[in-house]
Amino acid sequence: MIMKRVALLLTLSLPLMAGVKNLTLHEAVEMVKHDNLEVKIARFSEQMQQTEVKVAEGMNYGSLDVSLTGMRSNDALNVFGFKLMSREATFADFGFSDFMGAIGQGAAQSGGDFGKFTQGLAQNGDSILSIAPHDLNYPGARNNYQTKLSYMLPIYTGGKLTEYRHIMESMYRMSKYDTQKMINTKIYEVKKAFYDISLVERYIANLSKIRRNIDTLEDVILTMQKEGYAKEIDLLEVQARKAEADSMYNQAKLNKDLAYQFLSFLLNRDVGSIKKVHIKAPMPHVDRYILELNNIDIQKAKLGLQISEMAVKAEEASFLPSVGGFAEYGSADNTLFNDFTGKDSYTFGLQAKWNLFNGGQDDARLEKAKLKRLQVRDQVELAKKGIALKAKKLKTEILSADSDIKSYSKQLKFARQVYENYKTRYKEGMASISDVLIQQSKQLESLLKLLTVVNKRNTKIFELESIVNKGGEV
């Protein structure tokens, strides 16, 4: 067993253009699972879907952002705000210099008399309060560098994020089913290519035998012609049949080369030769239980039903409140990173939100999700019955082909015996060369019918294997 695995690994590691020799069907099936380009593309789609699961999981942990903002402004509101953010605001920033100047002037005019000073304030209070402070309204331009760390966390969403993550996980499983279905398709094509090559090689072998028989018949006619027992037309008729057989032989070889090219394309490497397989592929065991357990389409339909149920729960979450938390920590100054901790600040809080009315949009979405669930439920039943019917049809066609194979095998055996009989009778002068060639044509016709029905049967076998998801069993 270990030696077989080592041999398989060595075969898989061959360069793409090396030309694999004596390739077995088992080795080819293992190769196509890993090296086929369409399978590789499907696996990339699967991996991309897996990242969507991580995206959905990440939503539960919120987001943490850091920001650095640099600004310069002489707008009075901005400058005053900048100073407050950096904890540098003074009374002078409020225009107290103008206010104190007016107070000082009033004190000087009172001559130190507090009563007179108080009376003066009462009389001139409005004029003092109406002073427009120059420092406040026309501040000098100021820089502001703010560094902020912000964190937002969804605490409760009514289950929407949970269902979204479940949906993404199910979509990832769906992509794995798609990949397996692609693999099954490629395994089907590899098996068909192997059996096609084996059949065409059998056909070529039979054609070679027929060509040798024609050569022998030509030699007999030449000998009989020398003795005066055969005519020139007999020789020409045999030579015409020989040319026809040569044409069929060459066409068969071209078909064989084409089949090898297709197999090489499937395996993404050059295949020089294969080990021939048995003419008839074995019949797989299939019943309703195996189909419902293994069939990819049925599994996808069941998974689709689960996804539709998750979608209903996600829409129901729209009728529930959502709660989120946030926290911020930062520092601001007119110089970048100057005394960061001395001028830092924090903010945190919670927000609850509950939509009470949006024109019935949530109701419509929920109703649509429920209808989709009912639709998918019927699709599951349709998939089960449709796949079961398809499997039954294939089994019937295979059994019918088995009956035809038995019949054509007997006809081929009889046609060979008749041909040998007519060839002997021609030597004895009891039959014409046309009679002999007619029997040979019937022999070839029986052979073609037999190989055609065998090919048809094998194709149905591989289709049935693909339906039951045998996973490359050989």
The 142-156 sheet, strands edge to edge? 63-73, 142-156, 322-333, 344-353
Per-residue pLDDT reduced to its tens digit, 352-402: 999 999 999 999 999 999 999 999 999 999 999 999 999 999 999 999 999
The domain spans of the chain are 2-62+159-319+358-467, 73-142
CB 419 within 8 A of CB 440: yes
* Confidence band, pLDDT 50/70/90 cuts, at residue 6: very low
Q: What's the pLDDT score for residue 110?
A: 59
Per-residue pLDDT reduced to its tens digit, 201-228: 999 999 999 899 889 888 888 888 887 7
pLDDT over threshold 60, residue 472: no
CB 158 within 8 A of CB 319: yes
What DSSP letter does each residue of 64-81 carry, written as one string? EEEEEEEEEE--HHHHHH
242-253 per-residue burial string, b: 16 or more CB within 10 A, e: under 16: beebeebbeebe
| Rounded-to-integer distance, Cα 48 and Cα 370, Å | 29
User: What CATH number should be reported for the domain whose range is 2-62+159-319+358-467?
Assistant: 1.20.1600.10
- Which residues make beta-bridge pairs with 66? 149
Strands 63-73, 142-156: parallel, antiparallel or unpaired by DSSP?
antiparallel
| Rounded-to-integer distance, Cα 102 and Cα 91, Å | 15
Query: What are the φ/ψ torsions at residue 150 (nearest 5 degrees)?
Result: -120, 135
Nearest to 23 by CA among 245, 191, 154, 148: 191
- Which residues make beta-bridge pairs with 68? 147
Q: What's the pLDDT score for residue 128?
A: 60
pLDDT over threshold 80, residue 99: no
Q: How far is CA 470 from the centre of its chain?
A: 20
Residue with the bigger pLDDT between 122 and 138: it is: 138
Helix axes 433-467, 232-267, angle to 10 degrees: 10
| Rounded-to-integer distance, Cα 280 and Cα 199, Å | 10
pLDDT over threshold 50, residue 17: no
pLDDT over threshold 50, residue 3: no
* Confidence band, pLDDT 50/70/90 cuts, at residue 180: very high
Percent of the chain with pLDDT over 70: 87
Q: What's the pLDDT score for residue 109?
A: 57
Percent of the chain with pLDDT over 90: 62
Task: DSSP letter for 283, please.
Answer: P
Average pLDDT of span 107-120? 58
Average pLDDT of span 261-287? 92
Helix axes 296-316, 160-226, angle to 10 degrees: 160
pLDDT over threshold 80, residue 108: no
Nearest to 437 by CA among 240, 220, 207: 240
Residue with the bigger pLDDT between 237 and 429: it is: 237
| Rounded-to-integer distance, Cα 321 and Cα 369, Å | 20
Can you tell me which residue has the tokens 């539709």? 308
CB 136 within 8 A of CB 76: yes
Query: What are the φ/ψ torsions at residue 278 (nearest 5 degrees)?
Result: -65, 150
Name the token pair of 330: 């930062």
| 60-64, 225-229, 408-412, 452-456: least confidently modelled range | 225-229
Q: What's the pLDDT score for residue 123?
A: 59
Q: Which long-range contacts (CB under 8 A, 24 or more apart) does 94-103 make?
A: 94/133, 94/135, 94/136, 95/131, 95/132, 95/133, 95/134, 95/135, 95/136, 95/137, 96/133, 97/133, 97/135, 98/131, 98/132, 98/133, 98/134, 98/135, 99/128, 99/131, 99/133, 102/128, 102/131, 103/128
Q: What's the pLDDT score for residue 39?
A: 96
CA distance between the termini of the chain = 16
Residue with the bigger pLDDT between 151 and 107: it is: 151
Per-residue pLDDT reduced to its tens digit, 222-267: 888 887 777 888 889 889 989 999 999 999 999 999 999 999 999 9
What DSSP letter does each residue of 205-225 carry, written as one string? HHHHHHHHHHHHHHHHHHHHH
CB 409 within 8 A of CB 457: no
CA distance readout (Å), 218 to 223, 283, 415: 9, 44, 20
pLDDT over threshold 50, residue 12: no
CB atoms within 10 A of CB 433: 23
Name the token pair of 243: 């040319």
